[in-house]
Amino acid sequence: MKRTLSLIISIFTICGILSAQDSRERTLETIVQDVLAALPAENQTEFNTNMHDLAKSAPASVVYLASRLQPVEAGVNNLVEYAISGVVRYATAPESASLKDGVRSGLEKALETCKDDNHRQFLESQLRLMKPYSAAPAVFNAVEGKGSNARCAELWTLTDGKGEKSEKKILAALRSDDRAVRTTALLAYEAYADDDFYAKVAKTYRKLSPEAKADVIYWIGKKDVQSQIPLVLSELEAGGEIGSNAIEAAGRLGGSEAADKLVAMVGGPRSSEALAALKYIDSDITALVQDGMKKAEGERLNGLMKLASDKHMCGAAPVVLEYAASKDADLASKAAAALAGVVSASDFPAVASLYDSSESEKGTLKKAINSSLATLPADERYDLVMNHIAKASHPESFYIVLAETGSDKATDYLLARHAEGSGPASDALLTIRSMKVAPVLLEASSDNQTCLKTFADIVSEQVSEDNRKCEEYSKAFDRAVDPAVKNHILVLLGKIPSSRAFSMAGSYLDLPETSYAAAWAVKTIASKGVDDIDYYELTKVLGKAVDVLKSTGNADDGYAVDEIKGILEAAKPYELSKLTEEEAAQGFEMLFDGSDLSKWTGDKVGYRVANGCINVTASYGNSGNLYTEKEYSDFIFRFEFCFTRGGVNNGVGIRTPMGVDAAYHGMEIQVLDHDDPIYADLRDYQVHGSVYGIIPAKRLVHKPLGEWSYEEIRVKGDRVTVIVNGEVIVDGNIREACQGHNVAPDGSKKNPYTVDGKNHPGLFNKKGHIGFLGHGEGLKYRNVRVLDLSK
């Protein structure tokens, strides 16, 4: 208490001395209050404005702020911390150098009186940022002792101090029996190691231990020491580590002699190492390999063909094709495998003929065909394959090749053959990734469950609309028996940020074989901040997911559990709507209080209840409507609506039958975000609130997206009144509006009496349902109630 008092006194003193007031005549306290109210700053401009005010009134502002720090137990310091660290950051920016001294002295003054350890630590950390920087010397404290690392450290100290002059000792270190020391010697001397140095290494080379020799050879390759190629090549035939390192180094060093020697080793005892090294040779060795292939046989020939293939030597294609046609089955098989790497488009006819006549190598040769077609556009591939089919002896065997061309024409052709009952066409279709083959995949799934995985992958890649994706996945779930398939779909479902996907995934949490994938899916969806997942469903489903994830004990699952806890902390329950006392007295009936759609009928999928709202999710072009179960003639209909995306279109149908277009077979009171730029050319009878096509509404300006509006529609006899947020936007007589002619008197389709020039046969219906008329997602309704005036 005493301390607080003295702090307050000192603040008053400071204020008194400086009488800090800015150009806007604000007192210091007001300046600080204004800044605190605006923190933390959302962007740089806000930050600069606020911090400039604080910095200008430093040191007093900083001292005052520091005095407002409360004991950490109170948990209230964040804004003051933002303010102090903010002004420090602002004042240390290069462009505000003139303000630095004031802020620093404020911190120093504050520290003079500050006794709380936590506050002192914070203020000191800030003061540190204000001090001039001098780089701490990066001293390596050499380690004591005789360990391997101490000897390494000695070598660095040696080369640091003596540079080139340490050469002798470096050469001596190569004789160490410790590999770490030898490697360090070469590394520490790296900057000075020229051809001369390596010549000296080569001179002592024969005196070195085999292990040290291996190191030197590796290092020559690694450092690309071209002058020591002869030494490396002389060790190619050596055994053990030296030989292995020499082969690798020869590959790195390259050059024609190395290439010659390495190619010569193909087929020998160290063939695989030589082939690996040859992969890194940059120069063109096609001629060398081609020549070698012509003369070689057995393992050597196989190795050379593989090399030609790995290095994509197109020039070697004729030789490999020749071997692929050989009568020696083993040779033909090896050659067929190598073909894929060497063929190009001009080789297609030759490869296709081989494929046509081969029985045992069809799979391998198919790869070669694909490879030969790879550089052509899909439709050209299709043409080439179709030409070949015309003259092939086994045309149906080419269907699979056709499928892999990626051409749409091929898909259509195969679908036609499939319809005729061709088995190979059906098999081929299963390999195509296009929504066109979706029905074939679903049909085949009873025999082959993996078709469902393919189907789901295609949906994931090619269907863009979230709801439609859910619909397609649900088809796959219906047919899925294999848990692996279900889990595969659950992973894909997790990528859809929608409440529908959340519910679908949640329903798989109870089955042991799918619970883990389902838990990840619901976590992933919920973490995307989907706001139309119902609070009670969210907490229930995520609670189950936590149980599943906790039971594994795996680290990633632990992180997921933490993430879910964060989501649950942020989620808030909602309250159900209630009639006002006045409404209750008048006899209003609650049609939707936030809990369920029990008084409604129609599209309850497109109109989804969550968090006390009806969320319209029906896609554009989907005329999903939701109707009251009861019919009404005269009534007052009250509700709240909220647009969550721009340009949303919906409507309230009144006195309408179900399943017809209410705008003409009843009435439609327009619900439309007419402020969106897409409606620049809107007709006046289409704006929000209009009796569609009959009475234009006064054009209101909607509240920003995400804010709720209150609407009332009164219908009594022929009089329709629409009130939004207290403003009457329609108050008219429908019979007068069309002079009694809701349909053209001459029976024609054009009606001169209605503003939209159309017939409205249902305009004068005595009664009908009230309904929400869907034209797309992005809209919520809540608190829907009605007063039946006919009673």
Residues 361-390 that bind other proteins (CB under 8 A): 374-375, 377
Tell the smallest beta-carbon distance from residue 184 to other proteins (Å): 4
Interface of this chain with other proteins, residues 301 to 320, rule: CB under 8 A: 312
Q: Which of 129, 325, 530, 728 binds other proteins (CB under 8 A)?
A: 129
Burial class (CB in 10 A: 0-12, 13-18, 19+), 297: exposed
Cα 591 to Cα 256, 577, 603: the distances in Å are 88, 10, 16
Q: Name which position in 178, 380, 589, 593 contacts other proteins (CB under 8 A).
A: 178
Site mask, other proteins, residues 712-741, x = CB under 8 A?
------------------------------
Quote the tokens at residue 782. Answer: 């809540």
Residue count, binding to other proteins (CB under 8 A): 81
Q: How far is Cα 245 from Cα 240, in angstroms, rounded to an integer? A: 9
Stretch that binds other proteins, among 176-184, 256-264, 750-758, 772-780 (CB under 8 A): 176-184
Q: Is 563 in the site for other proteins (CB under 8 A)?
A: yes
Taking the complex as a whole, how short is the minimal distance between the CB of residue 310 and other proteins, in angstroms? Answer: 9
Contacts of residue 91, defined as CB under 8 A and 6 or more positions apart, other chains included, come to 51, 55, 58, 99, 100, 102, 103, 104, 130
* Residue 132 C-beta: closest distance to other proteins, Å: 5
Which pair of structure tokens corresponds to residue 23?
């150009």
Among 25, 112, 282, 359, which residue sits at the site for other proteins (rule: CB under 8 A)?
Answer: 282
CA neighbor of 90 nearest in space, from 124, 64, 38, 129: 129
Of 49 and 113, which CB lies nearer to other proteins in the complex structure?
Answer: 49
Q: Where are the alpha helices (DSSP H) in 57-194?
A: 60-67, 78-92, 100-113, 117-129, 148-162, 167-173, 179-188
- Which of 2, 23, 25, 75 is close enough to bind other proteins by CB under 8 A? 75
| Contact between 279 and other proteins per CB under 8 A | yes
Q: 771 vs 50, 722, 735, CA distance in Å?
A: 51, 16, 22
Closest approach, Cβ 259 to other proteins, in A, equals 14
Supply 385's token pair: 């394959």
Query: By CB under 8 A, what part of segment 184-223 binds other proteins?
Result: 184, 187, 215, 218
Is residue 126 within 8 A of residue 90, CB to CB? The reply is: no
Pairing of strands 607-610, 613-616: antiparallel
Q: How far is the CB of 690 from other proteins (least distance, A)?
A: 33
Position among 10, 183, 204, 422 found at the interface with other proteins (CB under 8 A): 183
Q: Rank residues 151 and 169 by Cβ distance to other proteins and give the closer one.
A: 151
Q: Out of 19, 118, 595, 739, point to the residue binding other proteins (CB under 8 A).
A: 118
Nearer to other proteins, 12 or 280 (CB): 280
Could you tell me the smallest distance in angstroms from the CB atom of residue 213 to other proteins?
Answer: 13
> Is residue 140 a contact residue for other proteins (CB under 8 A)?
yes
Any idea what DSSP says for residue 757? Answer: S
Residue 182 binding other proteins, by CB under 8 A: yes
Q: Does 286 bind other proteins (CB under 8 A)?
A: no
Contact flag: residue 88 with other proteins (CB under 8 A): yes
When asked if residue 73 is in the footprint of other proteins (CB under 8 A), the reply is yes
By CB under 8 A, which span of 142-150, 498-506, 677-685, 708-716 interacts with other proteins?
Answer: 142-150
Tell me the closest approach of the beta carbon of residue 64 to other proteins, in angstroms. 18
Instruction: Kindly calculate the radius of gyration of the chain based on its CA atoms and give it in whole angstroms.
Output: 40
List binders of other proteins among 31-70 (CB under 8 A): 39-44, 47
Candidate segments 122-130, 230-238, 389-397, 634-642, binder of other proteins by CB under 8 A: 122-130
Binding other proteins (rule: CB under 8 A), the pick from 2, 94, 393, 464 is 94
76 binds other proteins, rule: CB under 8 A: yes
CA dist., res. 410 & res. 481, Å (int) = 31
- Interface residue with other proteins, options 121, 256, 586, 790 (CB under 8 A): 121
What is the 3-state secondary structure of 139-166?
Answer: CCCCCCCCCHHHHHHHHHHHHHHHHHHH
Cβ proximity to other proteins: between 118 and 360 the closer is: 118
Options 319-327, 422-430, 550-558, 739-747: segment touching other proteins (CB under 8 A): 550-558
What is residue 424's DSSP assignment? H
* Residue linked to tokens 């490869």: 351
CB 119 to other proteins: min, Å: 12
Identify which range of 105-113, 297-305, 554-562, 641-649 contacts other proteins by CB under 8 A: 554-562
Residues 6+ apart with CB under 8 A from 720: 667, 669, 691, 695, 713, 714, 730, 731, 732, 733, 734
For the segment 626-685, give every residue that binds other proteins (CB under 8 A): none
Q: Is the CB of 69 or the CB of 432 nearer to other proteins?
A: 69
The CB-of-492 to other proteins minimum distance in angstroms stands at 14
135 sits near other proteins (criterion: CB under 8 A): yes
Of the two residues 414 and 545, which places its CB atom closer to other proteins in the complex?
545
Helices (H), 433-514: 438-444, 450-462, 466-479, 483-493, 499-506
Q: CA torsion, points 655, 660, 664, 665, in degrees to nearest 10?
A: -50
Show contacts with other proteins in window 148-167 (CB under 8 A).
Answer: 148-153, 155-156
| CA gap 146, 158 in Å, rounded | 16
Q: Is 596 helix (H, G, I), strand (E, B) or coil?
A: coil
**Binders of other proteins in range 213-272 (CB under 8 A):** 215, 218, 248, 252
Nearer to other proteins, 82 or 772 (CB): 82
For other proteins, the closer of residues 450 and 527 by Cβ is: 527
Tokens of 95: 């462009």
Look up residue 459 and give its two tokens. 């949906």
Binders of other proteins among 463-522, rule CB under 8 A? none
What is the nearest approach in angstroms of other proteins to the Cβ of residue 215? 8
CB-hemisphere CA count at 13 Å for 694?
36
Q: Cα(681)–Cα(441) distance, rounded to whole angstroms?
A: 45
Minimum Å distance from CB 415 to other proteins?
26
Q: Does 439 bind other proteins (CB under 8 A)?
A: no
**CB nearer other proteins, residue 46 or residue 510:** 46
Query: Secondary structure of 693-712 in the HEC alphabet?
Result: CCECCCCCCCCCCCCCEEEE
Would you state the structure tokens that stand for residue 425, as one six-digit string? Answer: 């066409």
Residue 555 makes contact with other proteins by CB under 8 A: yes
- Select from 278-286, 324-332, 580-588, 661-669 the region that touches other proteins (CB under 8 A): 278-286
116 contacts other proteins (rule: CB under 8 A) = no
Toward other proteins, which CB reaches closer, 222 or 703? 222
Of 419, 424, 421, 486, nearest to 452 by C-alpha is 486
Which of 566, 706, 745, 757 lies at the binding interface for other proteins (CB under 8 A)? Answer: 566
Question: Does residue 295 touch other proteins according to CB under 8 A?
Answer: no
| Residue among 638, 627, 611 at smallest CA distance from 726 | 638
Rounded to a whole number of angstroms, the minimum distance from the CB of residue 655 to other proteins is 43
What string of DSSP letters covers 197-228? Answer: HHHHHHHHGGGS-HHHHHHHHHHHHHTT-GGG
Task: Count CA within 13 A, CB hemisphere, residue 2.
Answer: 2
Distances (CA, A) of 719 to 127, 324, 479, 752: 74, 88, 54, 21
746 binds other proteins (CB under 8 A): no
Q: Considering only residues 688-717, where is the footprint of other proteins by CB under 8 A? A: none
Q: Give me 67's structure tokens.
A: 């005095």
